[in-house]
Chains A and B, each alone.
Chain A
Amino acid sequence: MAEAVAEAGAGVAPGAPEVPGVPGAPEVPERSRALEGVRGYGLIVAMWIRSTMTYRTSFFLATFGNATVQLLDFVAIYIMFSHVEALGGFSLPEIALLYGSCSASLGLADLLLGNTDRIGVRVRDGSLDTMLVRPVPLLAQVAADRFALRRLGRIVQGLGVLGWAVWALDVAWTPGKVLLVPVMILAGAAIFAAVMLAGAAFQFVAGDAAEVQNSFTYGGNTMLQYPPTVFGKDLLRGVTFIVPLAFVNWLPALHVLGRPDPLGLPGWVGYLSPLVAFVAFLPASLAWRAGVRSYRSTGS
């Protein structure tokens, strides 16, 4: 390493023609990978937003359509409640808390990282090649590729439903519980993001694993909209201890609602979501790195 740096710093060789502005070594500021990633991500996202904004009408239509579809989704649950009093022992506002929070979380993760589910195609057709020769971390480029602002639709809808839930709920709000609501959404988004990252990594090995990834994210989201009490214990253990989706909203929400966890975990576990998100990122990012290293391009 040190040797490499020294060599690179050697600058213009004696024999090289002296041309103004042509670098022996365009000094690249040493910054952390993460910062470079965020910066690159921002640049690409900004470009895609600008380019969608040139077709403003179609953007607004798409976002509006997206939000409407999402809203109809909740309307279905609303209608269901005109026939039943409770679902798995949960009232409509309680369900709305679950529904709104996991929608907002997934929406946020989907907005930021949603495009990673198509990386399998890029692995197979070798188009990652072009991203690998640019000075921006691959993940940032993949995540920002075709950034779609219309995905705000799901977030808006999620927050809307959540807002209504908070208003309608009959809960003794403590500072801790108030704080837990935004924390739940952000940590939930981070957990979904970790799952997406792991899924993307898996696609380096199995090119058509997008479905597997989607079953955890979108499928997981559908599951989390319903109270944990309607599911079997084995499933609950799986999503608590293996793929920690229960920490997205179930456990924090149970604490907010003052309800016991079906698995008997203590209430303060609801506060662990940020930690769980952090821990989930470790294997996910290791897997991602292994995936990138295994990339082998294509023969043509």
Chain B
Amino acid sequence: MGGGEVLISLDGVEKVFDVRRRVSLMRREKRQVRAVDGISFEVARGEMVGYIGPNGAGKSTTIKMLTGILTPSGGRLRVAGIDPARERMRLAHRIGVVFGQRTTLWWDLPLKDSYGLMRRMYRIPAERFARNMERCVEQLDLAELLDVPVRQLSLGQRMRGDIAAALLHDPDVLYLDEPTIGLDVVSKAKVRGFLRQLNGELGTTVLLTTHDLQDIEQLCERVMVIDHGRLMYDGPLRGLHTAGGVAESERTLVVDLERELPAISVPGARVVKVEGPRQWLAFPAGASAAPLVAAVAADYPLVDLSVREPDIEDVIARMYAGRG
């Protein structure tokens, strides 16, 4: 974190939704949903933070409060020194927002026109606009798309267009709510590469939510896990493995044998799954795989093998389940 200037700070922030549910034809029941339930954290300038959690955890609600879309029900919140809900428009110049689920562009306009309108709205000086456009167009591969109305863009194309739009005014903070949802492998790689460069070269602070842990693995040193509106973990990604009482994680050696065999026996590992000639052997993440491979090859007809790194998804799933 480097002890830099604090750009985002939350102190006991809450958001409660009143929801009315029809219980029967006549009766309606009023209920409160504590979407965000007393969250506190700080993000320093230049950080790239992953904000993860299961469906309905309160991630999007947090982001909407950080952008000024929603007014918190309680707590204190500041972004670049601004109270988002009270000074939404002033904040708008300092932040960029990408909603994976919803475009911020004008549906019927060609991308180019949307960008032109943004330039005027945000009063972006012509030369800075040109520079940012050039960078985004090149790195996000937008050249072919500039004349296409947004509604005709594919999901991945639109997402890239949206990311560019969020950055033309050089925001200090970029919020991304599921920026890789529905993207194919190539598009995901492109988006990740772009974000890494943005954060690395321009020092833009990034807060991103995702359900794809590869996003986090490849981009974020720091991750926050939220569940039921509460912060469950805040720290380095590596620390997640041991966080919350979850056992030290394991790596997996997958071996393909010549033929189907009963579960093999190798010292230092245990078979966790057998499927035809393929077997899965779990061993401590800290141990080396080499002696294990040698042992298998010595005693069994080995055809092929691969090693799987500890599965964060798994760890987190266990973490969620533990708190359920």
Query: Would you call A10 and B5 a contact (CB within 8 A)?
Result: yes
In the assembled complex, B278 has its CB within 8 A of some CB on chain A: no
How many Å from the CB of A126 to the closest CB on chain B? 7
Given contacts A19-B203, A43-B117, contact A4 B78 (CB under 8 A): yes
Closest to A23 in B: B170
In the assembled complex, A293 has its CB within 8 A of some CB on chain B: yes
Provide the bound-state CA to CA distance between A246 and B101, in Å: 46
What string of 1s and 0s marks CB contacts (under 8 Å) between A112-126 and chain B?
000000000000001
Q: Please provide the chain B residues from 1 to 37 with a CB less than 8 Å away from any CB of chain A in the complex.
A: 2-5, 17
How many Å from the CB of B17 to the closest CB on chain A? 6
Query: Would you call A19 and B45 a contact (CB within 8 A)?
Result: no
Query: Would you call A25 and B102 a contact (CB within 8 A)?
Result: no
Interface of chain B: mostly helix, strand, loop or mixed: loop
Query: Would you call B3 and A135 a contact (CB within 8 A)?
Result: no
Partner of B102, one of A8, A10, A14, A129: A129
In the assembled complex, B64 has its CB within 8 A of some CB on chain A: yes
Provide the bound-state CA to CA distance between A136 and B108, in Å: 20
Measured between beta carbons, the chain A residues less than 8 angstroms from B193 are: none
Query: Would you call B121 and A134 a contact (CB within 8 A)?
Result: yes
Partner of B94, one of A21, A26, A40, A300: A26
In the assembled complex, A132 has its CB within 8 A of some CB on chain B: yes
In the assembled complex, B71 has its CB within 8 A of some CB on chain A: yes
What string of 1s and 0s marks CB contacts (under 8 Å) between A3-43 and chain B?
11111101001111101011111101100010010001001
Partner of B83, one of A4, A130, A134, A137: A4
Query: Would you call B121 and A136 a contact (CB within 8 A)?
Result: yes
In the assembled complex, B153 has its CB within 8 A of some CB on chain A: no
Interface of chain A: mostly helix, strand, loop or mixed: loop
Provide the bound-state CA to CA distance between A22 and B106, in Å: 26
In the assembled complex, B69 has its CB within 8 A of some CB on chain A: yes
Provide the bound-state CA to CA distance between A83 and B42, in Å: 78
Query: Would you call A132 and B102 a contact (CB within 8 A)?
Result: no
In the assembled complex, B157 has its CB within 8 A of some CB on chain A: no
Query: Would you call B113 and A133 a contact (CB within 8 A)?
Result: no
Measured between beta carbons, the chain A residues less than 8 angstroms from B259 are: none
Measured between beta carbons, the chain B residues less than 8 angstroms from A129 are: 64, 69, 99, 102
Provide the bound-state CA to CA distance between A300 and B202, in Å: 31
Given contacts A4-B87, A19-B203, A21-B170, contact A133 B67 (CB under 8 A): yes
How many Å from the CB of A103 to the closest CB on chain B? 29
Measured between beta carbons, the chain A residues less than 8 angstroms from B68 are: 132-133
Measured between beta carbons, the chain B residues less than 8 angstroms from A295 are: 69-70
Measured between beta carbons, the chain B residues less than 8 angstroms from A296 are: 17, 70
Query: Would you call B202 and A19 a contact (CB within 8 A)?
Result: yes
Provide the bound-state CA to CA distance between A4 and B128, in Å: 27
Given contacts A22-B170, A25-B94, contact A47 B67 (CB under 8 A): no
Query: Would you call A43 and B121 a contact (CB within 8 A)?
Result: yes
Query: Would you call B80 and A25 a contact (CB within 8 A)?
Result: yes
Closest to B44 in A: A15
Interface band, chain A: 35 or more
Closest to A28 in B: B93
Given contacts A10-B5, A16-B4, A22-B202, contact A51 B80 (CB under 8 A): no
In the assembled complex, A297 has its CB within 8 A of some CB on chain B: yes
Partner of B45, one of A13, A29, A132: A13
How many Å from the CB of A150 to the closest CB on chain B? 15
Query: Would you call A22 and B203 a contact (CB within 8 A)?
Result: yes
In the assembled complex, B172 has its CB within 8 A of some CB on chain A: yes
What string of 1s and 0s marks CB contacts (under 8 Å) between B117-131 and chain A?
100111100001001
Measured between beta carbons, the chain A residues less than 8 angstroms from B17 are: 296
Provide the bound-state CA to CA distance between A200 and B237, in Å: 46
In the assembled complex, A243 has its CB within 8 A of some CB on chain B: no
Provide the bound-state CA to CA distance between A15 and B120, in Å: 31
Q: Please provide the chain B residues from 270 to 314 with a CB less than 8 Å away from any CB of chain A in the complex.
A: none
Question: Would you list 30 pairs from A and B whose C-beta atoms are within 8 A, ordered by A residue?
Answer: A4-B82, A4-B87, A5-B81, A7-B80, A8-B81, A8-B82, A14-B5, A16-B45, A17-B46, A17-B201, A17-B203, A22-B170, A25-B80, A26-B93, A26-B169, A33-B89, A43-B120, A127-B102, A129-B64, A129-B69, A129-B102, A130-B99, A132-B68, A133-B95, A134-B121, A135-B92, A135-B121, A296-B17, A296-B70, A300-B60
List chain A positions with a Cβ less than 8 A from chain B: 3-8, 10, 13-17, 19, 21-26, 28-29, 33, 36, 40, 43-44, 47, 50-51, 126-127, 129-130, 132-137, 293, 295-297, 299-300
List chain B positions with a Cβ less than 8 A from chain A: 2-5, 17, 44-46, 56, 60, 64, 67-71, 78, 80-83, 87-90, 92-95, 97, 99, 101-104, 106, 108-109, 113, 116-117, 120-123, 128, 131, 169-170, 172, 201-204
If A8-B81, A47-B109 are given as contacts, then 12 extra A-B residue pairs at C-beta distance below 8 Å, sorted by A number, are A14-B5, A22-B202, A26-B169, A36-B89, A47-B117, A130-B99, A130-B102, A132-B88, A133-B97, A135-B89, A136-B121, A137-B89
Interchain residue pairs A-B with the least CB separation, the first 3: A7-B81, A13-B5, A15-B4
